[in-house]
Every structure is written in C-alpha cells, then in structure tokens.
Amino acid sequence: MKSTSIILTLVFLTISLSAKDKPNIIILLADDLGWSDLGFQGSADIRSPHIDSLASNGIQFTDGHVSASVCSPSRAGLMTGRYQQRFGHEANSPPESAGMDLEQVTLADALKKLGYRTGLVGKWHLGNQDVYYPNQRGFDYFYGLRSGSRSYFYNPKKEDKAGNAKGIEENGKPVKFNGYLTDVFGQKAIDFIHEEDDRPFFLFHSFTAPHGPMHATEEDKALFVSIKNTKRRSYAAMIWAMDRAIGKLVNSLKASGEFENTLIWFLSDNGGATGNASINLPLAGHKGIKFEGGTRVPFFAHWPKQFKEPKKFDPMVISLDIMATSLAAAGAKVNDLKGLDGMNLIPFIQEEKSTPPHKNLYWHKLWFSAMREGPWKLIYVQDYGYALYNLEEDLGESTNLIQSEKKRSEQMIAQLNDWKDGLEKPRWDEAEVWFRTHSKTHIRIIEGE
Ligand code: CA
C-alpha cells in the first residue's frame, strides 16, 4: 500500500513539475503597425518604452515577416503555422458565412493538448459565425470582437448594437465596457493570466491598435503635442496605450514570478496602412501589397529562461514559425510538428544550427505574389509581370534587376509557380477595386514613379 502511494505521489510530482517547467506563451499582436514606428525600430516621434525593453532583452528578428500583408490571412497563418493559401484563406475578411477552415488545428488547440489553458483577448477576424468562434477553435477564454476595425469606446448605436460582429463579447455573450478599449483589453489579459489554475497558459493578446479608427484618449494625445500632424499624433497615442498595456502585463508577470519562464512574441499582423499615418520607411510600400513594407514587421521573441543572450537575429523568419517554436517550447515532439510550414526557431537562435531557418519564403494573394531566396526578392503583379530586387544592397526595393538577372529570375519564377500549384483555390474573393488600386501601387513602385 505504502509503496503504491509513494509511486503515485512521484508520478504526480513528475507531472506537476513538468507542467511547471513548461513556459507560459504570449503572443502580442499589433494591428497595422508601421515598420519604423517603435522606439527600438528607430522612430523619432513614437515612444514605446515597455516594448523597447522587451525587444532589447530579447531576440530581434530583423528580417521577420508575416505570411500576408492584410489582417485575416495573416492571422490564419499565425494561428495554424501553415501557409493559409493551403486551405483557401487567401483573400481578406471572410464573407459573413465563411471563416478559417474547420479542419485546421490552431495553436490554441495544440497547446490545450499539451496541458495549457488558453485565452484570446482582442481581435479574431477568422470568421463571424458561431462555428468559427474562438471558443470553438481552442480558446478556453475569449474577450474581444469576432471581426476587426471598431471604435475604441463602447458604442451601443453602432459596433456594440446587438448582433454586430464588431461588438465586444466575453465567451459568447455581448458585454458593455467602460473606458478605452486598449486599456480594457490590457486588464482582461492580466485577469486571464492570473486566474487560479496550475496549468501553464497561452494568451493571444490581439490588439486592435493602431488600426483605424484613429481614436485615442485626450490624456494620451497630450503627451504627443510635438507631433503636428493630428492623425500621426493620435497614432502615437494609440501605440502609447498599447505599450502601457504591455508594460502592465510585464509587471504583473514579474510580480507573480512568471516572467523568466514566459515566452513572449511581439509582432504586427501586417505593415503600416496608408490610412493610419504609419511609417514603413526605409521599406517600400505598405499594408496590402507585396513590397517589404507590406510583410516585414517589427518582430521579436523574449524568453529569459531560454534566450539568455539578447541579440539581433538576421536570417529571415516568418510568423508561421511562432506555432512550431511555441509547440517545441511546450514540449511537443518533432513528429507533432509535421504538416507545419513554420520552423522551430529555438535551435537556430541558440546556434545549435548554423544554416538559416528558411531557404525560401512565399507570399500570394489573388493577383499578386512574392518570393524570397536569401536576399533575392521576386514580385509578381497580374497583367503586368515580374520584378526582382536584391535586398542586401537595396532594402527599399528601388532597382528592378529582372532584366540583368535573367537566369536567376527564371529559376525563381519557376519555383514560385511550383509552390502556387500546391495551393487550394481561394474560398472567397475580394472586390475588383482592390486589384486596380493595388496593381497601380505595385507598378508605380516598380517603375520608380
Ligand atoms: Ca492588420
């Protein structure tokens, strides 16, 4: 009897210790944040002290990308670790009846299986119907909006009207909130991580900031009176509020002794938009297009227990790597990672592997595609053709080398088309006006006008 109870105790201890060793995992996702619009990215007018502190103590991915230059497909890639075009999630904003393929395993699904409790605070944008609801996609807890882009204040006449997918809900029920939405999300995130529960947690903190509408509090705007452009002033204040929420979250992790063994990711879901006064320079382009300004985002990982030496990590990485890396950190076996396009970055960061994590990266949405091969970047625009850049010498994508690098271009075009052949047909479309608008922008930049 006695030996049995000792054995049971030991087994229990082993399980609880291993659960304790598992890192908490947090994804901090900004929405439409510009490449150069944080302190650590060199901004002259935006201040983000808490984000900067995490970045400077973490692993900064200087060539870090998302898998799409607009919200919904980028989030589908992030949540599944797979190129979202493989399951038809190519165009933005699913129509009312559609959402992210129900066959896909989300990061939340996978972490739940590994013993995590899971929460999403903020924007979902992967389907409005109940069947696509975060609570059905692996999240134990959800506080936020099904869709995207809404007022930063409670608005019962518009977004918070019954049945609106932009309304704020908590686990399926519409809720009222007081104050500024970014602050409210910040508090809900803190409440979630401090729930009484011995399991490690996964928090997807999906800010709506600094996506429009350009709502900021008067107090926050007053901190940026030196910015004369009033839209840019609001934008700076929105980022300041996001930074404040992140600072509070970090402080509460420190207070509970969980900061050391929490893996925190920070990135934007796509590049800065044309409408929110963001700055992507020195990158070309912006949200919605295939130049670096669309997909290269501020991106870092912070995990004091494992990533002891802060550094800049220059080989290219992609948001799809977050799932593979997080699952590996949570103790998943290599076999569990099959079917993912992302890579486990841990051995690369810890210099156990000296090759770059990716030889190639790919992007494709409806009428436009792109591909990286090391420093080489190929762009395709439907009804126009291809352009080629060498980002090592020309980060701003100003010199099209398609004619002078004929052999390389041909090889890359063939490889990009091979990759596209393996994709599923898009499950929904976008309005033709986006083709015309974005086609013009691509051609204007390629032709240097
Ligand atoms: Ca976005």
- Residues lining ion ligand 1 (Cβ < 5 A) are 31-32, 71, 269-270
Contact 297, 62 (CB under 8 A): no
State pLDDT tens for residues 20-64: 799 999 999 999 999 999 999 999 999 999 999 999 999 999 999
Q: Which of 50, 89, 125, 286 is catalytic?
A: 125
Q: What is the CATH classification number for the domain harbouring 416? A: 3.30.1120.10
Co-location of 165 and 215 in the same domain: yes
Cα distances from 57 to residues 53, 193, 211, 269, 385, in angstroms, run 6, 22, 27, 22, 43
Residues written for the chain: 449
Instruction: Note whether residue 247 is domain-resident.
Output: yes
Predicted pLDDT at 297: 98
Co-location of 177 and 227 in the same domain: yes
Instruction: Note whether residue 149 is domain-resident.
Output: yes
What does the angle CA 289 – CA 293 – CA 298 come to, to the nearest 5 degrees? 130
Would you give per-residue pLDDT tens digits along the chain (449 residues)? Answer: 334 443 434 343 444 447 679 999 999 999 999 999 999 999 999 999 999 999 999 999 999 999 999 999 999 999 999 999 999 999 999 999 999 999 999 999 999 999 999 999 999 999 999 999 999 999 999 999 999 999 999 999 999 999 999 999 999 999 999 999 999 999 999 999 999 999 999 999 999 999 999 999 999 999 999 999 999 999 999 999 999 999 999 999 999 999 999 999 999 999 999 999 999 999 999 999 999 999 999 999 999 999 999 999 999 999 999 999 999 999 998 777 889 999 999 999 999 999 999 999 999 999 999 999 999 999 999 999 999 999 999 999 999 999 999 999 999 999 999 999 999 999 999 999 999 999 999 999 999 97
Co-location of 328 and 384 in the same domain: no
- Residue 302 bears catalytic tag: no
Instruction: Note whether residue 355 is domain-resident.
Output: no
Co-location of 337 and 388 in the same domain: no
The alpha carbon of 150 and the centre of ligand 1 are apart by a number of angstroms equal to 12
Contact 81, 340 (CB under 8 A): yes
Instruction: Note whether residue 404 is domain-resident.
Output: yes
Domain count, the chain: 2
Co-location of 328 and 182 in the same domain: yes
The alpha carbon of 9 and the centre of ligand 1 are apart by a number of angstroms equal to 49
Instruction: Note whether residue 304 is domain-resident.
Output: yes
Predicted pLDDT at 5: 40
The alpha carbon of 384 and the centre of ligand 1 are apart by a number of angstroms equal to 26
Co-location of 303 and 160 in the same domain: yes
Predicted pLDDT at 338: 84
Domain boundary among 309, 328, 349: 349
Q: Identify residue 118 by its one-letter amino acid code.
A: T
Domain coverage including residue 171: 3-349
Co-location of 335 and 424 in the same domain: no
The alpha carbon of 96 and the centre of ligand 1 are apart by a number of angstroms equal to 19
Co-location of 272 and 154 in the same domain: yes
State pLDDT tens for residues 331-358: 998 777 889 999 999 999 999 999 999 9
Co-location of 326 and 220 in the same domain: yes
Q: What is the CATH classification number for the domain harbouring 344? A: 3.40.720.10
The alpha carbon of 75 and the centre of ligand 1 are apart by a number of angstroms equal to 9
Co-location of 212 and 344 in the same domain: yes
Instruction: Note whether residue 354 is domain-resident.
Output: no
The alpha carbon of 211 and the centre of ligand 1 are apart by a number of angstroms equal to 7
Domain boundary among 299, 321, 349: 349
- Residue 125 bears catalytic tag: yes
The alpha carbon of 70 and the centre of ligand 1 are apart by a number of angstroms equal to 5
Instruction: Note whether residue 104 is domain-resident.
Output: yes
Predicted pLDDT at 413: 98
Co-location of 242 and 335 in the same domain: yes
Q: Which of 71, 205, 364, 442 is catalytic?
A: 71
The alpha carbon of 95 and the centre of ligand 1 are apart by a number of angstroms equal to 17
Domain boundary among 322, 349, 376: 349
Contact 190, 247 (CB under 8 A): no
Predicted pLDDT at 16: 44
Predicted pLDDT at 14: 41
Co-location of 183 and 209 in the same domain: yes
Instruction: Note whether residue 370 is domain-resident.
Output: yes
